[in-house]
Each structure stands twice: as structure tokens, then as C-alpha cells.
Amino acid sequence: MLASTTHVIRELFVTERTADAEVDVMRAAAARDVPVVVVDERVARSLGDTVHPQGMVAVVDLPRTRLDDVVRRHPRLVVVLVDAADPGNAGSVIRTADAAGADAVVFTRGSTDPYAGKCVRATAGSLFHLPVVTGVNAVTSLELLREAGLRVLATTTAGEPLNEMDHALREPTAWVFGNEAHGLPADITQVADREVSVPIHGRAESLNLAAAAAVCLYASARAQRK
């Protein structure tokens, strides 16, 4: 992870044990002039917020991105989270978006904070791989993405089946996912080009947000890369 994220790392705090174990990370830090401070286990614990800290804490710049900047780069696959509440889910969506080759993830105002510890950990480094936009108005963002030529697909429980959309998925797409319990509000679905549903074949009422995002984003990746 360090190699791809050094541009935002300002300082590293490590325990002696971790410094000995993570030789490659220590070398990379030295090569990039990142200051390294060796601390004892007690200090490392107080710096992190997990029960089992990994013995390494980095001070990083928050990599802020504006939606304008995202749009200017002609994105083909964008994820928009509206009122997403669970930081673990949100982090998993960022990781999956990265894996599926998406260009950006947008957190509209009212969504969970992508820089909360639980979310950062769930991204497994992907928070630093792709642009994350925060604090924007949902309707305005979707309008901007539409004007930029992306099809805005809102995931709902009563939309067109995902399986029948291969042709549409070849186009540049912005996927919109709503709150884990309440889904998307009407003003959002109204501004979308289409409503789409992941088909439910069994007796589950719905998919978990992160699972639904994985299915939709990989359907797009597949259609766009054929």
C-alpha cells in the first residue's frame, strides 16, 4: 500500500516489532523521506482505534476531490452513495469500485464519513487509489453526471432486472445506491435515467448494500470491457 500512497503520507509511527517485520515498508518510507517515529506498544495502541492494532499508524493528508474534477476526466464508471449509513458497507463499496475499475465514488451529503476509521479499514487501501468526493448535494450531482454523458442508474427493489441491461451497461454509467434500510428517496429516482434491480431468486428480501454494489459494478465492468 505504501508505494501507491506515499504522496499523502506525512509521518509514520511504528512499534519496534513492526519496524523489524515490515522491512519493505521501512525502506520505502526512507526512500521517500517520510519521517518514521518508533513508539512503544502502549503509544501505538493509544494512536489507533482498534482492539488489535497492527503496530503502525500513518498521518496522511485527506485526498479531497471535487466532482468537477471527476467529470472533467471523462469517467466511464462512477458510484454514488446517497444516505449510506454503515461505514463498513461504504468502505467495502470503495474497495469493490476500485477492483471493478471505477473512476470515482461520490458520498452525497448525509452519508457516512469515508474517513471514519471503520470505513478506511474496510477499503483496504482503495480509499487512496481512486477519487472520493464528499459532501455534495445528491440531485445536483446526478444532474452534473448526466450532463457529462453518464447514464444514471438508480438501484431500487422494483426496477428493470439487471440481467436484461447488458446493452445499456456498455455506456458510461453512474450507479446510485441508497440507504441500507430505506433505499433511495423519490427525488433521486426521478432524476435517474432508469431504475434497476438485482434479481432476487431466493427468499431474501434484498441484498446487503455492498453485495448489491459488487454485482452491479461487475456487470458494468464486464459489459464495458467486452
Euclidean distance between CA atoms 27 and 101, whole angstroms: 29
Q: Is 4 in the site for a copy of itself (CB under 8 A)?
A: yes
Q: Is 50 in the site for a copy of itself (CB under 8 A)?
A: no
Minimum distance from CB of 203 to a copy of itself (Å)? 4
The dihedral built from the CA positions of residue 126, 131, 137 and 138, taken in this order, carries a sign that is negative
Subset of residues 111 to 150 that bind a copy of itself, contact rule: CB under 8 A: 122, 124-126, 129-130
- Tell me which stretch binds a copy of itself (CB under 8 A): 24-32, 142-150, 169-177, 194-202: 194-202
- Tell me which stretch binds a copy of itself (CB under 8 A): 22-30, 135-143, 145-153, 211-219: 211-219
Residue from 12, 14, 79, 102 touching a copy of itself (CB under 8 A): that is: 102
- Grid coordinates belonging to 58: 500513518
Helices (H), the chain: 2-5, 16-21, 23-31, 41-47, 67-72, 87-99, 117-123, 138-147, 166-169, 186-191, 209-224
Q: Is 223 in the site for a copy of itself (CB under 8 A)?
A: no
